[in-house]
DNA sequence: TGGTGTGAAGTGGTTCACAGCA
DNA sequence: TGCTGTGAACCACTTCACACCA
């Protein structure tokens, strides 16, 4: 099993070029910055300028972009348009990725209202909870269903990614169901470590932990 | 300025022993696992068992714990109690850390209801928003105030950490205020890169980005 | 025997520094 | 001259492998 626990990592898959895991992560950042530049009518950027916007070193940016061959022109910089396209291709954002969300507590509900997902190419098809009736009153945008319907739903809609927001003690159990149903990527907000088979990728976002390590790094 | 962008890092501060940044991060995980073990009445754990629970290699766990000197006994394992205490000390969780939250949108509201923070030793003292009146109806547990009151509040209560949930376009602006008021650590949920002075630490949690990179790593 | 502690080797990623092209 | 592309040096962390101890 592979945990991309807030840093991390993966062995590369055959048909893809060998792109460092961290580079992939940064590509998303570059993409954001480039969109802003594009809106401002910029047509080219130097590695220096883009790096500054993304908060990395220029050399790092060039190395990252170097994975895709010759993209820039020396003495000039990189064409914004081309860069955006290339990154989009690599991240596979051409089509809208279907996603489901499990566990409609406070956090789950907030994430359902978060519009950033759709903006970045993900569509939350449905949300699942053990007690959907209790939540009916809320103004949810997506269909809310009972857990029992989850597995057939995943198969039917070929869902490959899930956002997991259930309480810690149900994390593993639900993860097992997700994996059994064919989910290959889990974004885990449950404050627990889940064990999954080799081919499944888990990214953990643990809010309390983020605060905890942050507090260590600030001067005392 | 230092960005602990979901991976992380930092140069170490003088008076502390040299603990790798990633180790700090994992200590939080170990702590979680140990608490569970403690509740189950376990008194000792082997590096193998704890490593498995935390999803790391045994050698890694031992290296991590090795930073604090001799903790375990050969042939037996580590005493759960002692380990928890030691980790608690290192992470500085003896006292309740005061924190504020800025930007009470969907995400901000969800985080205010999230009980994991207090459980891990953080207390959200207050929340700030540009339009607190509009939110008055909601059942918030913490005092909700207007942005204008933020800077004096930070000084008055010696707040050193802030959770930033404002829309992207206000991210930098609010961050500047926070820093000016004396905040040293920012947990940034705004989907934007913020620039801060050297001594301030920023951890970014970008939900859409997490999904994006996750989607890259699942098999196609 | 079982399991820690740890030097040494390995790995992945970052940064440098400079050659080379517009 | 300005800025990219990239080998080589560097660095942080991980993993191995084994000495050593209860």
CA separation for the pair B41, B65 (Å, rounded): 21
* Residue-level pLDDT at A94: 63
SS3 for A136-168 is CCCCCCCCEEEHHHHHHHHHHHCCCEEEECCCH
Instruction: Convert the pLDDT of each residue in A37-46 to its tens digit.
Output: 999 999 999 9
Find the CB nearest B161 among A2, A205, A211. Answer: A211
Q: Does A139 have pLDDT greater than 90?
A: no
Nucleotide nearest to A56 (CA to C1'): C14
Tokens 């959770």 found at: B163
> Beta partners for A101?
A127, A163
Query: Protein A22 CA to nucleic acid C9 C1', in Å?
Result: 24
CATH topology classification for B97-211: Rossmann fold (3.40.50)
**Mean pLDDT (whole number) for A201-206:** 94
Contact A114/B120, CB-based, under 8 Å?
Answer: no
**What backbone torsions phi and psi does residue A172 show, to the nearest 5 degrees?**
-60, -45
Residues of B in contact with A182 (CB under 8 A): none
pLDDT band at B17 (very low <50, low <70, confident <90, very high): low
Instruction: Convert the pLDDT of each residue in B115-159 to its tens digit.
Output: 888 888 899 999 999 998 888 777 778 999 999 999 999 999 999
**Mean pLDDT (whole number) for A172-183:** 97
Contact A24/B216, CB-based, under 8 Å?
Answer: yes
Query: Protein A206 CA to nucleic acid C9 C1', in Å?
Result: 33
Q: Does A10 have pLDDT greater than 50?
A: no
Alpha helices, H only, chain A: 21-39, 47-54, 58-66, 80-91, 106-113, 116-119, 150-157, 168-181, 207-217
Find the CB nearest A119 among B117, B208, B214. Answer: B208
* Residue-level pLDDT at A120: 85
Residues of B in contact with A116 (CB under 8 A): 191, 207-208
Residues of B in contact with A208 (CB under 8 A): 28, 116-117, 119-120, 122
Tokens 């939350």 found at: A124
**Mean pLDDT (whole number) for A175-202:** 96
Task: Give the three-class secondary structure for A101.
Answer: strand
pLDDT band at A140 (very low <50, low <70, confident <90, very high): confident
* Residue-level pLDDT at A121: 87
Residues of A in contact with B24 (CB under 8 A): 213, 216-217
* Residue-level pLDDT at A206: 92
Average pLDDT along chain B: 89
Q: Sheet containing B144-146: which strands, arranged edge to edge?
A: B2-4, B201-204, B185-188, B161-164, B97-102, B122-129, B144-146
Lowest mean pLDDT among A130-134, B8-12, B95-99: B8-12
For chain B, residues classed under CATH 3.40.50.720 are 97-211
Contacts of B198 (CB under 8 A, 6+ apart): B1, B2
Instruction: Convert the pLDDT of each residue in A58-72 to its tens digit.
Output: 999 999 999 999 999
Contact A185/B6, CB-based, under 8 Å?
Answer: no
Q: Does A220 have pLDDT greater than 70?
A: no
Instruction: Convert the pLDDT of each residue in B161-210 to its tens digit.
Output: 999 999 999 999 999 999 999 999 999 999 999 999 989 999 999 998 99
Average pLDDT along chain A: 89
Contact A13/B219, CB-based, under 8 Å?
Answer: yes
* Residue-level pLDDT at A19: 92
Higher pLDDT, A208 or B187: B187
Q: Does B10 have pLDDT greater than 70?
A: no
CA separation for the pair A207, A130 (Å, rounded): 23
**Mean pLDDT (whole number) for A8-28:** 68
Give the CATH class of B10-90: mainly alpha
Higher pLDDT, A138 or B124: B124
Contact A120/B209, CB-based, under 8 Å?
Answer: yes
Nucleotide nearest to B76 (CA to C1'): C3
Query: Protein A192 CA to nucleic acid D3 C1', in Å?
Result: 47
Residues of A in contact with B55 (CB under 8 A): 1, 3, 5, 193, 195
Which bases in strand D are touched by protein, i.e. have an atom under 7 Å from a CB? 1-7, 12-17, 20-22
* Residue-level pLDDT at A56: 97
**Mean pLDDT (whole number) for A121-134:** 93
Query: Protein A56 CA to nucleic acid D1 C1', in Å?
Result: 25
Residue from A210, A145, A205, A39 nearest B208 by CA = A205
For chain B, residues classed under CATH 1.10.10.10 are 10-90
Q: Sheet containing A144-146: which strands, arranged edge to edge?
A: A2-4, A201-204, A185-188, A161-164, A97-102, A122-129, A144-146
Percent of chain A with pLDDT over 70: 91
Q: Does A195 have pLDDT greater than 90?
A: yes
Residue from B195, B115, B182, B198 nearest B150 by CA = B182
Q: Which two tokens stand for residue B141?
A: 């547990």
Percent of chain B with pLDDT over 90: 75
Contact B24/A54, CB-based, under 8 Å?
Answer: no
Q: Which two tokens stand for residue B158?
A: 């010696």
> Beta partners for B163?
B101, B187
Find the CB nearest A193 among B5, B29, B114. Answer: B29
């Amino acid at each position: 099993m592979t945990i991309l626990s807030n840093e991390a990592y993966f062995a590369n898959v055959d048909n893809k070029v060998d792109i460092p895991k961290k580079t992939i992560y940064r590509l998303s950042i570059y993409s954001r910055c480039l969109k802003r530049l594009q809106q401002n009518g910029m047509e080219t950027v130097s590695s220096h300028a883009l790096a500054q916007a993304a908060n990395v070193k220029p050399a790092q940016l060039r190395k990252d972009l170097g994975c895709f061959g010759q993209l820039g022109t020396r003495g000039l910089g990189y064409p914004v348009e081309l860069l955006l396209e290339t990154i989009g291709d690599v991240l596979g954002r051409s089509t809208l990725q279907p996603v489901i969300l499990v566990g409609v507590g406070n956090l789950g509900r907030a994430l359902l209202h978060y519009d950033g997902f759709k903006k970045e190419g993900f569509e939350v098809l449905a949300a699942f909870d053990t007690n959907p009736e209790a939540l009916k009153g809320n103004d949810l945008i997506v269909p809310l269903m009972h857990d029992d319907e989850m597995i057939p739903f995943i198969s039917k809609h070929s869902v490959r990614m899930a956002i997991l927001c259930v309480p810690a003690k149900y994390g593993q159990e639900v993860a097992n169901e997700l994996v059994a149903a064919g989910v290959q990527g889990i974004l885990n907000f449950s404050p627990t470590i889940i064990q999954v088979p080799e081919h499944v990728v888990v990214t953990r976002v643990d809010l309390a932990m983020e605060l905890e390590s942050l507090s260590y790094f600030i001067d005392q």
